[in-house]
Amino acid sequence: MLKRLSIQNYAIIDAIDIDFDAHFNGITGETGAGKSILMGALSLILGDRADTSVLLNSQKKCIVEGFFDVAGKKSIQRFLKEEDLDAENELVIRREINSGGKSRAFINDTPVTLEQLRNLSSMLVDLHRQFDTLELGASDFQREVLDALASNDAVLEQYQNLFAEWQEAKNTFAALQLQKEQFTKEYDYNKFLFDELEEANFSDSELELANEELKIQANTEEIKEAISKVVFGLGEGETPITQQLKQFANQLQHYSSLMPSLASLQERLQSAYIELKDVYNELEAVGDQVQFDPKRMNHLQERMAIGYKLQKKHGLNTTNELLELKEQLSNKLQAVLEIDDQIAAAAKTVANVESKLEELAASLSAKRQKQIKPLCDQVNTLLAQVGMPNARLKVNVEPSQQLHYFGKDEIAFLFDANKSNKFEPIRKVASGGELSRLMLCIKSLVAKSLQLATLIFDEIDTGISGEAARQVGIILKGLAEKIQIICITHQPQIAGKANAHYFVYKEIKGDAIKTNIRQLTTDERITAIAKMLSGEKPTAAALENAREMVGN
């Protein structure tokens, strides 16, 4: 609900503030007084583009602010949270245009883009002006009308949850098919690489161990000669080192009881003898193991050649990396064998979900079809009441080629303004005033079911008067019990139904003419409506008639 509109330095408006009623607000005034200027200023906070031509005083900013009560509006609260904006019960939208033509928009004092502003304002205000392409021509709104009348909310929510599941299942199925296609392209090559590694049949760290063994084979004679010399020195020859250490330890042992320090040294010599004796024995064993084997050397060289070739081919450095690659290739080859089963399972899931969707879509379609005749009958009756007796609404619901987010229907509202039986899409054949009245008739039927924004009608009464205007006023009054209505009108029958009546007028301030607005008292309303009935000097009959209109 629009609680207050504040406008500064816009066109011929210096500064005005309007506090709106929660129900039916009527705005009247002489032609050229500036009523449409108010709508132009309002359109700025709804996201319309602007330039410096709107500035009354080119040295000051133009500022338009709208204060909205959004308590209980779940869609708006959700939008604010998604856009990381302050979510409060009062929403303030501000638009500023500076002297250089730069425009800035704010939602609750946070700078926003025009796109964000438009997305939010569409949930706040539904502005109907002459020659606008109105929401009524949009397929989403047309579907919403049928769904509201059919009470399709629960089924539609179930359908849309399932639709999201179906989309995900189709994406999974498509991804698997693409994966299979890729696998198939790579299968022969991967099989060749795997067979190479399988044939090589390397064991853990084989190439690294083979490299160490090859170094030993290449230096067998030198190693055996070095071992022999050490073995000879330790335990053979005329004076082996081990024998000398044993003798030294025995010589000291005789005196170790006399000198405690000698006892300790004698024990160390004995330990050295035992350690070197052990080294001597192990060196003999190692020397026996070191044997030059030409066949073994050739085998190792062949394995190393195979291994290094494969490492270079795959850009790897170790045997274990080759084994890891072999495992990866094995998994890819196995995946090719398994993916057909996965594709079959995914296709079954898609088919099962699609079958359920078809059932729900059929249910939605059936319920929508049932509402077509009652909707057309009621709207056509209301159109006659609001001065369009020859106008007819027709609703076409045809099955679409495939399922979509709202079912399987293509919905089109068609219009014939002159009983020609040539029904065309609404936006092609209805004038601005006809569109506004048609929208009023339709929204009056679905107001209880849809969470509608504030409805603003700019000259909905074009081309009507008398009883038709009275009927428009009655419908507006009834609709205003559920949502806020703001209506610019020239018809006293409509203005008389308003809960709050605002009068737009021009006044001279200094050397300039400015537009202003004020809310009329009851007596002022009677006078204003009487002037609309009979002219600038209303008759007693006109005053009485106006008093009756306001009283009713």
pLDDT at residue 12 is higher than 50: yes
Average pLDDT taken over every residue of the chain: 86
Of the segments 36-45, 151-160, 265-274, which one has the largest average pLDDT value? 151-160
Contact assessment for residue 202 and residue 319, using Cβ atoms and an 8 Å cutoff: yes
For residues 38 and 488, what is the distance between their CA atoms, to the nearest angstrom?
10
pLDDT for the residue numbered 155: 94
Element (H, E) at 517: strand 512-519
pLDDT at residue 132 is higher than 50: no
pLDDT (average), residues 189-206: 88
Local confidence band at 403 (pLDDT 50, 70, 90 cut-offs): very high
Q: Where are the domains of the chain?
A: 1-129+459-519, 177-338
- In the chain, what is the straight-line distance between the N-terminal and C-terminal CA atoms, in Å? 25
Give the residue among 140, 135, 133, 143 at the shortest CA–CA distance from 429: 133
pLDDT for the residue numbered 131: 42
pLDDT at residue 337 is higher than 80: no
Conformation bin of residue 278: beta by default, left when phi > 0, alpha when psi is -120 to 50? alpha
For residues 228 and 220, what is the distance between their CA atoms, to the nearest angstrom?
12
Beta-carbon contacts of residue 78 (< 8 Å; ≥ 6 apart): none
pLDDT at residue 421 is higher than 50: yes
The second-level CATH assignment, the architecture, of 1-129+459-519 is 3-Layer(aba) Sandwich (3.40)
For residues 105 and 292, what is the distance between their CA atoms, to the nearest angstrom?
89
Residue type, 249: A
pLDDT at residue 137 is higher than 60: no
Give the least confident one: 244-248, 508-512, 514-518.
508-512
For residues 169 and 166, what is the distance between their CA atoms, to the nearest angstrom?
5
The answer to pTM > 0.85 is no
pLDDT for the residue numbered 171: 96
Over the range 396-430, which residues count as b (16 or more CB within 10 Å of their CB) and which as e? ebeeeeebeebbbbebbbbbbbeeeeebeebeebb
pLDDT (average), residues 522-536: 89
pLDDT for the residue numbered 222: 84
For residues 311 and 386, what is the distance between their CA atoms, to the nearest angstrom?
87
Local confidence band at 135 (pLDDT 50, 70, 90 cut-offs): low
pLDDT for the residue numbered 11: 85
For residues 163 and 159, what is the distance between their CA atoms, to the nearest angstrom?
6
Of the segments 19-23, 28-32, 118-122, 242-246, which one has the largest average pLDDT value? 19-23
Contact assessment for residue 472 and residue 491, using Cβ atoms and an 8 Å cutoff: yes
pLDDT for the residue numbered 430: 63
What separation in angstroms does the CA of 502 have from each of 216, 314, 494?
108, 83, 13
DSSP 49-98: ---GGGBSSTTS-EEEEEEEE-TT-HHHHHHHHHTT----SEEEEEEEE-
For residues 416 and 429, what is the distance between their CA atoms, to the nearest angstrom?
7
pLDDT for the residue numbered 348: 95
Contact assessment for residue 533 and residue 526, using Cβ atoms and an 8 Å cutoff: no
pLDDT for the residue numbered 429: 67
- The model's pLDDT over 150-186, given as tens digits with 9 standing for 90+, comes to 999 999 999 999 999 999 999 999 999 998 888 787 8
Give the least confident one: 126-130, 176-180, 224-228.
126-130
- The model's pLDDT over 228-267, given as tens digits with 9 standing for 90+, comes to 888 888 878 777 888 888 888 888 887 877 788 888 888 8
pLDDT at residue 530 is higher than 60: yes
Residue type, 311: Q
